[in-house]
Amino acid sequence: MRTNLNKIQRCPGCGNFLIHVAIKNALKQLNLPKHKVVVVSGIGCASKIPQYIDSYGCESLHGRSLAFATGVKLGNPDLTVICYWGDGDGYGIWLGHFLHSCRRNINLTYIVANNENYGLTTGQASPTTPLHVKTRSTPEGNVSLPFDPNGLAKSAGCGYSVRMVDKDLPLLTQAIVDGILHEWFSHIDVDQACPSWRRW
Ligand SMILES: Cc1ncc(C[n+]2csc(CCOP(=O)(O)OP(=O)(O)O)c2C)c(N)n1
Ligand code: SF4
Ligand SMILES: [Mg+2]
């Protein structure tokens, strides 16, 4: 963990803190030196991760981290490349990259901090917001059905796609270890607490 920046920029109780600890534990367990790890994100609360994990990293563009990470991995296959971002990034703006990454099956570890809303932009509905829930963008209740990210991944050919909870650190850590050890594309959707906006 970086110690100079990690005291800022997140609400108390945010699940991203726990997921970061799980990633850190997984990297430690696998004995991966920091110069061999690249964490690529997009834009959002979750996507601030490169500011917190002491490795190589890049906050790329909203929705584009898988494209960036694919380039990093192809350029240097020896690197462990982790994509980490939110559900708006991963399942909304550029869902296509997710499905094509499953199909191409390049060895990336894809972790989505799924708080079921667009946290950074103050809690609008995302593709995983449950039906009928009231958000800043659905004041009368969400009328769109949420989709199932793991079902989508599997239908696109992903051989490792799991759903975890941020609070279960041992299980989440193990899922990340398994995802990194999986030699193809791996997808970990994490049910993430967002006390500021996800009040359902
Ligand atoms: C191309 C583009 N469109 C929209 C935005 C505005 N924007 C920034 S973060 C964000 C939503 C982030 O939601 P999510 O990916 O779920 O991350 P969270 O903040 O919930 O962790 C949006 C719409 C942007 N930065 N770039
Ligand atoms: S808005 Fe939600 S996701 Fe963003 S820092 Fe606060 S609790 Fe975390
Ligand atoms: Mg989100």
1 domain residue, yes or no: no
Question: What is the amino acid identity at position 42?
Answer: G
187 domain residue, yes or no: yes
Provide the b/e sequence for 35-57 (b: ≥16 CB within 10 Å). Answer: eebbbbbbbbbbbbbbbbbbbbb
Written as six digits, the tokens of 79 are 């690197």
Whether 160 contacts 182, CB under 8 Å? yes
- What is the span of the domain harbouring residue 78? 15-191
pLDDT interval class at 142 (50, 70, 90): very high
Minimum mean pLDDT range among 17-21, 50-54, 70-74, 140-144: 50-54
Ligand closest in space to the Cα of 43: 1
Mean pLDDT of 34-60: 95
Closest residue (by CA) to atom 1 of ligand 1?
62
Closest residue (by CA) to atom 1 of ligand 2?
119
pLDDT, position 10? 86
Round to whole Å and give the CA distance between 69 and 64. Answer: 9
Written as six digits, the tokens of 46 are 């979750």
Please identify, by atom number, the ligand 2 atom nearest to the C-alpha of residue 123: 1
Q: By percentage, how much of the chain surpasses pLDDT 90?
A: 92
Round to whole Å and give the CA distance between 59 and 131. Answer: 31
2 domain residue, yes or no: no
Residue to mutate (ligand 2; options 6, 7, 8, 14; most atoms within 8 A of CB): 14
For ion ligand 3, residues whose CB falls within 5 Å: 86-88, 115, 119
Q: What is the dihedral of CA 65, 101, 167, 11, to 10 degrees?
A: 20
136 domain residue, yes or no: yes
pLDDT, position 3? 62
Q: Please name the residue that has the structure tokens 């990633």.
A: 23
160 domain residue, yes or no: yes
Q: By percentage, how much of the chain surpasses pLDDT 70?
A: 96
**Is 165 strand, coil or helix?**
strand
Mean pLDDT of 68-82: 98
pTM, whole model, 2 decimals? 0.96
Question: Is ligand 1 within 6 A of the CB of residue 118?
Answer: yes
200 domain residue, yes or no: no
Written as six digits, the tokens of 40 are 């690529």
Closest residue (by CA) to atom 24 of ligand 1?
62
196 domain residue, yes or no: no
pLDDT, position 94? 84
Q: Which residues contact 109 (CB under 8 A, 6 or more apart)?
A: 80, 81, 82, 83, 176, 179, 180, 182, 186, 188
Residue 37 CA to ligand 3 center (angstroms) comes to 24
5 domain residue, yes or no: no
Residues touching ligand 2 (Cβ under 6 Å) are: 10-11, 14, 16, 45, 115, 119, 194-197
Round to whole Å and give the CA distance between 62 and 133. Answer: 24
- What CATH number corresponds to the domain at position 41? 3.40.50.970
For the purposes of burial, counting CB atoms within 10 Å of the CB of 154, is it exposed (0-12), middle (13-18) or buried (19 or more)? middle
* Residue 151 vs residue 52, higher pLDDT: 151
Residue 5 has pLDDT above 70, yes or no: no
Name the domain count of the chain.
Answer: 1
